[in-house]
């Protein structure tokens, strides 16, 4: 991932970057549909980078199909995470609500708090894990559709090929997500630009991660 730092600047190499980013940003304001289309646009950006073309894809509604696949994949992962957290959150809520009086059992209150903390810990840690798996999940979805994105065994094998690069890509994606949210501080108007810009960054980061994996495979094959 030698050129991963170029993620911040590559969108500006497209002479039409401003209008493309603005249009995708405006479409992104549409609830759910806009985000799905933007995800497909990000995947199309990866395709362009794979082809060696460092220009953003045209801005349109034409990415809903691909974006929907990625939307379903991450929806499944996060629903699974919520179910796992609910296993601890539901009994914690029952315990704390039943002991919410002066005669409450101190042990049950502590148990309820412990279960509540466990639910929050699962949600936080699980979200971070999904975030660091994101490059591998996106690539698997692009190559194999929804089924590929949910093939957790294949995704984990991809991560094990280069855990350092996966960690670096995850940290860069956190930075991209932070930049994407900066538009909120401009009364949400700035999201029109920062959100699609962060997706363009994400495309470069994921492509850089893929290139690092390909280099690793080539080196391993040469050693054999």
What pLDDT, in 10s, does the model give residues 184-201? 666 566 788 999 999 999
- DSSP secondary structure letter of residue 12: G
The pLDDT value given to residue 184: 67
Burial class (CB in 10 A: 0-12, 13-18, 19+), 125: exposed
Question: How many CA atoms does the CB half-sphere of 109 hold within 13 Å?
Answer: 8
The pLDDT value given to residue 66: 93
On the question of pLDDT at 122 being above 80, the answer is yes
Report the alpha-carbon distance of residue 20 to residue 133 in Å, rounded.
28
Report the alpha-carbon distance of residue 39 to residue 130 in Å, rounded.
16
Mean pLDDT of 195-211: 94
Residue in this structure with the two tokens 């957790």, named with its chain if needed? 152
The pLDDT value given to residue 58: 96
Q: Is residue 117 part of a domain?
A: no
Q: Residue-wise over 5-17: b if at least 16 C-beta within 10 A, else e?
A: eebbebbeebeeb
Instruction: Output 108 or 73, whichever has higher pLDDT.
Output: 73
Rg of the chain, C-alpha, whole Å: 21
- Reduced to 3 states (helix: H, G, I; strand: E, B; else coil), residue 53 is coil
Q: Is residue 162 part of a domain?
A: yes
Contact 50, 208 (CB under 8 A): no
Contact 192, 29 (CB under 8 A): yes
Summarised one tens digit per residue, pLDDT across range 19-48 is 999 999 999 999 999 999 999 999 999 999
Count the domains in the chain: 1
Q: Which of 7-11, 12-16, 98-102, 131-135 has the weakest average pLDDT?
A: 98-102
Mean pLDDT of the chain: 89
Q: Is residue 209 part of a domain?
A: yes
Q: Is residue 84 part of a domain?
A: no
Q: Name the maximum alpha-carbon separation found in the chain.
A: 71
Q: Is residue 111 part of a domain?
A: no
pTM of the entire structure? 0.88
Report the alpha-carbon distance of residue 95 to residue 150 in Å, rounded.
35
User: Residue 90 corresponds to which tokens in the numbers above?
Assistant: 């539901």
Q: Is residue 31 part of a domain?
A: yes
Q: Is residue 221 part of a domain?
A: no
């Amino acid at each position: 991932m030698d050129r991963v730092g170029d993620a911040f600047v590559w969108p500006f190499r497209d002479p039409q970057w401003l209008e493309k980013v603005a249009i995708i940003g405006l479409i992104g304001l549409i609830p759910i549909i806009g985000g799905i289309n933007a995800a497909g646009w990000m995947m199309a950006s990866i395709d362009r980078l794979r082809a060696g073309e460092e220009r953003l894809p045209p801005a349109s509604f034409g990415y809903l199909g691909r974006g929907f696949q990625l939307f379903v994949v991450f929806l499944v992962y996060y629903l699974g995470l919520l179910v796992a957290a609910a296993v601890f959150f539901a009994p914690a809520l029952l315990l704390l609500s039943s002991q919410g009086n002066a005669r409450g059992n101190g042990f049950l209150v502590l148990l309820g708090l412990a279960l509540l903390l466990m639910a929050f810990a699962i949600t936080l840690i699980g979200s971070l894990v999904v975030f660091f798996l994101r490059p591998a999940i996106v690539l698997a979805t692009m190559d194999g559709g929804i089924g590929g994105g949910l093939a957790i065994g294949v995704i984990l094998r991809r991560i094990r090929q280069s855990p350092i690069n996966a960690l670096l890509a995850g940290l860069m994606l956190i930075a991209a997500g932070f930049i994407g949210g900066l538009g909120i501080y401009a009364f949400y108007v700035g999201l029109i630009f920062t959100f699609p810009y962060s997706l363009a960054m994400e495309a470069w980061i994921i492509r850089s991660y893929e290139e690092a994996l390909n280099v690793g495979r080539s080196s391993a094959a040469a050693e054999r």
